[in-house]
Structure 1
Amino acid sequence: MARLLVSVRSATEAVVAHRAGASIIDVKEPDAGPLGMSPWPTWIRVRQALDESVPVSVALGELPEWRSEVPPAVPSRAWSGLAFRKIGLAESGPRWRGDWFELMRRLDGSGPSWVGVAYADWRSAGSPSPDELLEAAGDSPETVGILLDTWAKSDRLRIDDSLVHWSGRVRERGKFLAVAGGLDASSIPGLDVLEPDIVAVRGAACEGGDRRAPVVASRVERLAELVSELGRVPCRRG
C-alpha cells in the first residue's frame, strides 16, 4: 500500500500532518525552491515532536548550493533519528555524478539513507534525465529510493508510457519509488499506473492549496484516504 508523505515547515505542521494521516513527514522550506532546505534546528524540532516510529526525511536543496565557497554546515547531531535525505540536481552540470557521489561520501557516517531525485521536467531544470539519475542511483548502495518530482512547482506531473516503464525499472533496481510534482486530490488516483510506494505533497495539504500556507488537517485526511486506495485495484502497466 502506498504511503502519504507531507512536507512541513515546522514541528507544529508536522504534528498536524501526522495526526491527520501522513505516514512520513518531510522537512523543507518552500520559499527556498522545490527542495528548499530548512535550517537544521527545524529538523531536530520536528523529529522531537513526533514518535520515533514516524519516518522523517529532509530536503537539502540543490547540488550547486553545496559546491559554493560556503556550503551549508550541518552538525552530526542534526542527522540523528532521520530516515532519509534528498538533494536535487538542477543546474548541476556535466560533473553532477561525481559531485553527487562525493557529497554523499562527505556526508556519510551515521547519517540517514539517500533518496535520488529525478525531475520529470529535467530539461527546464538543467538536471540529469530520469534515466541518467536511475543509472547512477542503481550504482549507489546508499541510495534506497527515487523521488520523481517536478522542478517547476507551477507544473503538474504528466504521466506517459515512458514514465510507466521507467517506474518499473526503479523497482527492478531494488529502489522504492516516491512520486510528487504538484499533486492534488484530483491527480492522485491517476498515479495507480506508476504503483508508487510513497505519494509526496505539500501544496495540496495546505490552506487554499498554497504551498506557502499552513498545513490543514482536513486536507491531509482527504489525501491520506485517496493514497490508501492506490493499488487496491490491479492495474496493467503500459
Structure 2
Amino acid sequence: MMLMVSVQNYEEGLEAHKGGADIIDIKNLQEALVGSAHPWLAKELRAVIPPEKHVSITLGVVPNQEGTVAMAAYAAGRLNATSVKVGFLNTEYGAAVSTLRASKKALEGTQTKLIGSTFADSRLYKGLEADCMVELAKEGGCDGWLIDTLTKDGRNLFDFVPEERLHEMVFRGKELGMSTALSGHLKLSNLDELARINPDIVGVRGAVCSKGERAGTVSWEAVAELKRQIELRKSGEILVHGGNGNGHANGWVVIDGTSQNCAGIIAALTAQVEKDAKSLIEVIIPDALNIYDVILWSEKRGHRLLNQRKEGKSVRVLVQP
C-alpha cells in the first residue's frame, strides 16, 4: 500500500518528497472541480525528484473532447510522468472508453501509465457511476484506476461507497493485473478500513496539510507520520484483521513476491495453478496486508491455505491447490 500525496506547487512537492511519499501527484484544485497543473511544474519536480520515485500528473475532470484529452496525455508522457490520471464525470460510458483508448495510444513509446478515474460521489453531479470503474478501466486499456471524491462538504469516500464494495472492486482490479488506488478526503482514522481493502495506492491531501484540510499546505511532518502509520499496518505491527486455513499435500513450488505488488503475486499464483494444480505453492509476501488478498484468492478458487509464518520482514504462505 503506497502513499500518494497531491501537491499544487513546487514547495509542496518537495515537502511530500521529504516526508517519504511514494508518489508525488501534481494537480490543480483551483481549476473547476479539479484540474491539471501547468506543465512546467511537472517538469521542475521531475527534474529534482529521484527517478525511482513516482511523479504522477492528474488531468482532473476532463472535457468531452477526445483529441484534447489525448493531447494532454501525450504531454504527460513526454514529461516523463510515472502515470497520468484521466477523470470522468459528465461523460457517457462509451465516450469515456473511447477517450481512454485514445489516451493509451497517445502514450505509446513512453513509460507513462494510464490511470482511469471516476468519483464516488458522482450522483451528486449526475455523473458517471464509480461502480463501473473496473470495467471502464478494462475496456479503456488502462494500466490502473483511481476512485476519488469531489464534494467539499466534509464527507469522504466511505460516505458514498461501503468498505465491502470497495474491497470487491480493488480485488477485481488486482485479478485483472491493474494498479488500484483510493482517495477522497481520507484521514488517519480511515487507515484500518483502507488496510483491510488493501489498494495498491492510498491518495491524500488534507490529511497531510498543516491545517489538516486540503486548503492548507502540505507538511512533510504530517506526510512522515501518515507514512509511518501505513508501514505499521503493512508490517503487521498493527493488525486490522485475522488469518485462517489448514491442510496438507506434496510437491513444492516457491513464488518469490518480494519485488512484486499484490496484483503481480496473484497473477503469478493463478498462472502457477493453471500450469500445475498438484504441487504445493509457497509464496513469499513482503507486505502483510497482501496476505488477506491471497487468502481471498484461495477461498474464491477452492484452494486451501495451509499455514503462514513470518520470516524477517516477509511472510511465507503455503497454498494447496
TM-score for both structures, normalised by structure 1: 0.86
Q: Counterpart of 2:56 in 1: which secondary structure? A: strand
- Distance in 1 (CA, whole Å) between partners of 2:70 and 2:100 is 17
Gaps of 5+ in 2: 242-291, 297-321
Question: How much does 1:38 deviate?
Answer: 0.4
In the alignment, structure 1 residue 119 sits paired with structure 2 residue 119:
yes
Tell me if the contact between 2:121 and 2:151 (Cα under 8 Å) persists in the aligned partners: yes
Note if 1:53 corresponds to 2:56.
no
1:181 aligns with one of 172, 181, 184: 184
Whether the aligned pair in 2 keeps the contact of 1:43 and 1:78 (CA below 8 Å) is no
Change (3 A) 1:167 1:229: same
Alpha-carbon distance in structure 1 between the residues aligned to 2:173 and 2:186: 20
Q: Structure 1 116/61 Cα, relative in aligned 2: closer, same or farther at 3 Å? A: same
Q: Secondary structure at the match of 2:216?
A: coil
Q: Are 1:222 and 2:221 an aligned pair?
A: no
The residue matched to 2:143 in structure 1 has which SS?
strand
Q: How far has the Cα of 1:197 moved from its partner?
A: 1.2
| RMSD of aligned Cα (Å) | 2.7
Inter-partner Cα distance in structure 2 for 1:32 and 1:188: 29
Name the SS of the counterpart of 1:26 in structure 2.
strand
The number of aligned residues is 235
For 1:33 and 1:226, the matched residues in 2 are separated by: 33
Deviates more, 1:5-14 or 1:124-133: 124-133
Q: Deviations over 1:13-51 (max 9, x none)?
A: 111111111111000011125542101111111111211
> C-alpha deviations, 1:138-161, integer Å up to 9, x for none?
2344x2211121122432111332
Matches within 5 A, 1:73-88: 74=72, 76=75, 79-88=78-87
Once residues 104 and 72 of structure 1 are traced to their aligned partners in structure 2, the CA distance between those partners, rounded to angstroms, is 4
Please tell me whether Structure 1 or Structure 2 has the larger radius of gyration of its CA atoms.
2
Indicate if the aligned counterparts of 1:63 and 1:100 stay in contact, CA closer than 8 A. Answer: no
- Aligned partners of 2:198, 2:99: CA distance in 1, in Å? 27
Using the TM superposition, name which of 119-128 and 17-26 deviates more: 119-128
Q: Distance in 2 between matches of 1:118 and 1:77?
A: 19
Q: Partner of 2:205 in structure 1? A: 202
Correspondence for 1:3: 2
Corresponding letter in the other structure for 1:193: R
- Confirm whether residue 150 of structure 1 aligns to residue 149 of structure 2: yes
Bigger Cα displacement from structure 2, 176-185 vs 92-101: 92-101
Going from structure 1 to structure 2, the CA distance change for 1:86 and 1:184 (only over 3 Å counts) comes to same
Determine if contact 1:189/1:226 at 8 Å carries over to the other structure.
no
3-state SS, counterpart of residue 204 of structure 1? helix
TM-score, with structure 2 as normaliser: 0.65
> In the alignment, does 2:165 pair up with 1:165?
no
For structure 1, list consecutive stretches of 5 or more residues without a partner in the other structure.
Answer: none
Which stretch shows the higher mean deviation, 93-102 or 5-14?
93-102
SS of 1:53's equivalent? coil
Following the alignment from structure 1 to structure 2, what is the Cα–Cα distance between the partners of residues 177 and 89? 16
Q: Does the 8 A contact of 1:3 with 1:228 survive in 2?
A: no
